[in-house]
Amino acid sequence: MPAVRMLQHVVGQLLLGPACGCRTSALPARSLGASPWQIPANANFHSASFSETDRPRVLITGGLGQLGVGLANFLRKRFGKDNVILSDIRKPPDHIFQSGPCIYSDILDYKNLREIVVNNGITWLFHYSALLSAVGEANVSLAKAVNITGLHNVLDVAVEHGLRLFVPSTIGAFGPTSPRDPTPDLCVQRPRTIYGVSKVHAELMGEYYHYRYGLDFRCLRYPGIISADSQPGGGTTDYAVQIFHDAVKNGKFECNLKPSTRLPMMYIDDCLRATLEVMEAPAESLSMRTYNINAMSFTPEELAQEVHKHIPEFQITYNVDSARQAIADGWPVSLDDSNARKDWKWKHDFDLPELVTTMLNFHGSDTRIAQAN
């Protein structure tokens, strides 16, 4: 019996925390209230959509990236300016700081993240902090810290406080052995970038936390996202953003992918709407935790031809970046998003002609204003 009591004591110490005194990612060591280990596997937080009188309190991490600011503006129109908090480790420009609540948040600092959630009554968390494909390959150590360790902190905070959590995934979560045209929701993935590996990890960890702890985890695999009012963020599909900046400014563009490289793309308005729609979808309508979403697929050559219709003097040249080309060659040509269209009625609005017209109108207006000033 003494041996049994000693074993019970050792197990108890392991559950309380690590012997070395270092901070551990084990959930019980982080919980001040009910331990997540005691949450039944079939629990379901926020199983119904929010009513107009019960609006969510939203936190966006990595808010100064390509999508965060647009998402904040989009959600503030729906839920009110003060109900959506944008966070990042960088100082926001004045116009973003004045547009609504902006705070410092380091996802690698668990205590800081937890304080923000508690002090602001957060109920929805959009986790956008990540190093993208090309940038991640240039700094794998930092990508592992931000994309994996940061995710673990977010998952633990979300399950502890019963948050509805959205984590975006990507076409980069697939690899060269995946079916490419179209790529289904469920198939072999095996990505070959740290960005893709970390996103597969996020998908699986989110699904595990859902079934193990009842976390309301929701995830969309984004195509390449094209945004008019943000700068490229270091991704392989960023040529499709930079081309519009250069076309209006210089009338020419040097592309770092081959002219025949076909990839799935989406205009940011469709992306933001899809994100909100999946977050508001009733839990019982979701047959899976991670969905593909799709809008259009095109090559650099096809995009340049469409730009040329608006700017006849536009010229494109090619200086292929072998690293980015290798990444693109392992990604889907198109995504099968039939499950999203069936489960929560997803439907895109922008195809290639509408995309190009919208982007050039936006940048053309900016150029004329700058010249007038």
Residue 123's pLDDT is 98
DSSP state of 337: -
Q: Active site includes 195?
A: yes
Residues 286-336 pLDDT 10s? 999 999 999 999 999 999 999 999 999 999 999 999 999 999 999 999 999
Catalytic one among 110, 195, 239, 267? 195
Q: What is the mean pLDDT of the chain?
A: 86
CA distances from 31 to 15, 19, 108 (A): 11, 18, 17
The encoded tokens of residue 109 equal 């600092």
The partner residues of 254 in beta bridges, in order of sequence, read 317
Are residues 69 and 63 in contact, defined by beta-carbon separation less than 8 angstroms?
yes
Residue 233's pLDDT is 67
pLDDT over 90 for what percent of the chain? 77
Residue 132's pLDDT is 85
Residues 82-94 pLDDT 10s? 999 999 999 999 9
Q: What is the pTM of this model?
A: 0.83
Using a 10 angstrom Cβ sphere, with 0-12 exposed, 13-18 middle and 19 or more buried, the burial of residue 19 is exposed
Residues 83-140 pLDDT 10s? 999 999 999 999 999 999 999 999 999 999 999 999 999 999 999 999 988 889 999 9
> Cα 220–225–229 angle (5° rounding)?
130
Are residues 243 and 303 in contact, defined by beta-carbon separation less than 8 angstroms?
yes
* Amino acid occupying residue 71: L
Task: Enumerate residue ranges in the chain where pLDDT < 50.
Answer: 1-26, 28-29, 31-50, 52, 365-373
Are residues 94 and 77 in contact, defined by beta-carbon separation less than 8 angstroms?
no
Residue 51's pLDDT is 53
Residue 134's pLDDT is 83
The Cα 277–Cα 169 span in angstroms is: 16
With tokens 């902190």, the residue in question is 153
